[in-house]
Amino acid sequence: MRVIRSLVLLLACVWTAAGAWAQTAGSTTRWDALLVVFDQPTPRPGVRSIEVHRQGDGTLSGTLTSDWYGAMAMSNLVADEGELRFDVRNINVPGVPTRRWRATSTAAGLLLEGGVWDSEVKQVGRPATPAEVAALRPAEVPLPPLRKVAPDGLAATPPMGWSSWNAFAERIDDRKVRAMADAMVATGLRDAGYVYINIDDGWQGTRGPDGALRPNAKFPDMAALAAYVHGKGLKLGLYSSPGLKTCAGYVGSYGHVEQDARTFAGWGIDYLKYDLCSGEWQYADAERVQRAYYQMGAALKATGRPIVFSLCEYGRFDVAAWGRDVGGHLWRTTGDITDDYARMSDIGFERNPKFGHAGPGGWNDPDMLEVGNGGMSPDEYRTHTTLWAMSAAPLIMGHDLRATTPAALALLSNRAVLAVDQDRLGRQGRAVRRDGNGEVWTRPLADGSFAVALFNRGPVGAQITIRPLDVGLTRFAVIRDLWADRTVAASARAFAVPAHGARLLRIRGR
Ligand code: GLA
């Protein structure tokens, strides 16, 4: 008996040294036939299972299955001393293309430790059957080949409306959306041109047995909500993602793209923001991102309902160059705006201007407005509005419309400023001159006049000078100060601009 036990122990040591299996207090892990599920994974990326096999050539290969990213392949697997170590691809961290993970045999079960991007994983799993692990694997869904979506005449000027995200994030429900539609009308903002009421992330529930996406309990009847919004002379927008999960962790359209497009159209939706989110993992190169957006663009078109398609992939892979071709009417050029001057001005002055191609039917989107949310001074919000109007940017408000202050209303509903944003020529303005903290931006308008914006990015007031040559003229005939709503002398050249402030002129030449 003793001889047999010694033999078994000896064999175990040999196997352990070879990295095939390891023994720890109370549990035995065979690294070359590992099947473990995690009943309580960390929320992101939500690793549900780990499986490792020995391949024909003797090497180990393995996969993690996660709620966010589906199958995550392991590489460089090394098994020894009760521990398996491996690499997993990483995202969004320059210079860190992979992360090293490890799985350790413990008395409580298999301890898995690793991370992707900004989420860390530390969780314990239990041995599972092949059937249990297989059931957790999401089906790999191929993308369609890339084709072009024909132009449809929507968004001839940049879309105007409101979105729930900046003010409310996930704190949204049917009642609040109806209240926003009411406030859009009561404030006069609808009549100023803001027509979209967009529900951002957080409306989704689960899929039904037929695979159809259903709203969560906060949105009992999406079609009725759309009818209510339409009854106010407004349009309704929704939000989804090409990935398995949206950015806030709700179910995405992965594997259900055409079905979701039909569901949205059936509810009477007029606008879809399609946010890359967890799709960053699956669609990690230009070709796959384009195909993923094309798939939804084509699916929306196939519904026959006119639906504005808002691409949100943060400006990756030169999106402005192909956004229209995949059916997009606007495309985000940056990461998220926040309600502060530093971020707003970095997006508006530095990032968004790098993108060309804007014009009728397709617009560079530097993200939603923060006007009315309180994080910037009145002059900074004036800069925000002026910069977006000069950029032919979509004007999607992001504050609680019920609490619109007179100051915010004045900024958001100035008809002369909105006319610059909505000018039918659709040419995006640009900086023609930078002088210290001062910037002069110009934008040619359809009637032959020019919008000229003077920005002071510095912390103290300054004089900023304009020249007829800034817009290719020899002299000015009429200068209208749009925020002040008055005509100034055609000979005026130097304008006082407050710290972080802006002036906006509409100029005719001779
Ligand atoms: C991303 C987008 C935001 C918003 C959130 C919702 O961060 O860029 O505009 O839609 O997701 O989760």
Give me the catalytic one of 201, 275, 325, 367: 275
Which residue out of 68, 163, 200 has the highest number of ligand 1 atoms within 8 Å of its CB and is therefore the one to mutate?
A: 200
Using most ligand atoms within 8 A of CB, pick from 334, 336, 369, 373 the residue to mutate for ligand 1. Answer: 336
Instruction: Summarize pLDDT for 441-457 with one digit per residue, the tens.
Output: 999 999 999 999 999 99
- 214 neighbors 248 (Cβ within 8 angstroms): no
Three-state secondary structure string covering 396-418: EECCCHHHCCHHHHHHHCCHHHH
336 is a catalytic site residue: yes
CA dist 332 and 446 (Å) reads 25
pLDDT digits (tens, 9 = 90+) for 129-182: 999 999 999 889 999 999 999 999 999 999 999 999 999 999 999 999 999 999
Residue nearest to atom 11 of ligand 1 (CA): 247
Residue in 395, 500, 108, 67 with CA at minimum distance from that of residue 250:
67
Give pTM, 2 decimals.
0.94
Task: Point out the catalytic residue in the list 80, 87, 152, 336.
Answer: 336
Q: Quote the tokens at residue 342.
A: 């530093």
In the chain, the percentage of residues whose pLDDT exceeds 90 is 92
DSSP-derived letter for residue 131 is H
Q: Does ligand 1 have an atom closer than 6 angstroms to the CB of 312? A: yes
Which strand (E) or helix (H) includes residue 432?
strand 430-435
> Which residue's CA is minimally distant from atom 8 of ligand 1?
336
Q: How high is the pLDDT of residue 138?
A: 86
**Contact, 330 vs 394, CB < 8 A?**
yes
Share of the chain above pLDDT 70, in %: 95
Active site residue 275: yes
Residue 346: DSSP 8-state:
I
Residue 184 CA to ligand 1 centre (angstroms): 22
- Whether pLDDT at 217 is above 50: yes
Would the pLDDT of 27 be above 60?
no
Predicted confidence (pLDDT) per residue in 306-326, tens digit? 999 999 999 999 999 999 999
Mean pLDDT across 48-65 = 95
Return the pLDDT at 111.
Answer: 97
**What are 404's two structure tokens?**
């619109």
Report how far ligand 1's centroid is from the alpha carbon of 201 (Å).
7
Q: Is 19 exposed, middle or buried (0-12, 13-18, 19+ CB in 10 A)?
A: middle
Closest-CA residue, ligand 1 atom 9, reads 336
Contact 510, 472 (CB under 8 A): no
SS3 310: strand
For range 332-351, the mean pLDDT: 98
18 pLDDT more than 80 = no
CB of 224 closer than 6 A to ligand 1?
no
Q: What angle do CA 171, 386, 383 make, to 5 degrees?
A: 75
CB distance 339 to 345 below 8 Å: no
Cβ of 200 less than 6 Å from ligand 1? yes
pLDDT band of residue 29 (cuts 50, 70, 90) is: confident
Nearest to 29 by CA among 63, 80, 87: 80
CA distance 326 to 405: 39
CB contact set of 383 (below 8 Å; sequence gap of 6+)? 341, 344, 345, 348, 455, 500, 501, 502
Mean per-residue pLDDT, 468-495: 97
pLDDT of residue 4: 47
148 CA to centre of ligand 1 in angstroms: 26
The pLDDT of residue 28 is 58
Closest CA to 178 of 216, 110, 112, 232: 232
What pLDDT was estimated at residue 371?
98
Instruction: Indicate the DSSP class of residue 429.
Output: P
Do residues 371 and 412 lie in contact, with contact meaning Cβ atoms separated by under 8 Å? yes
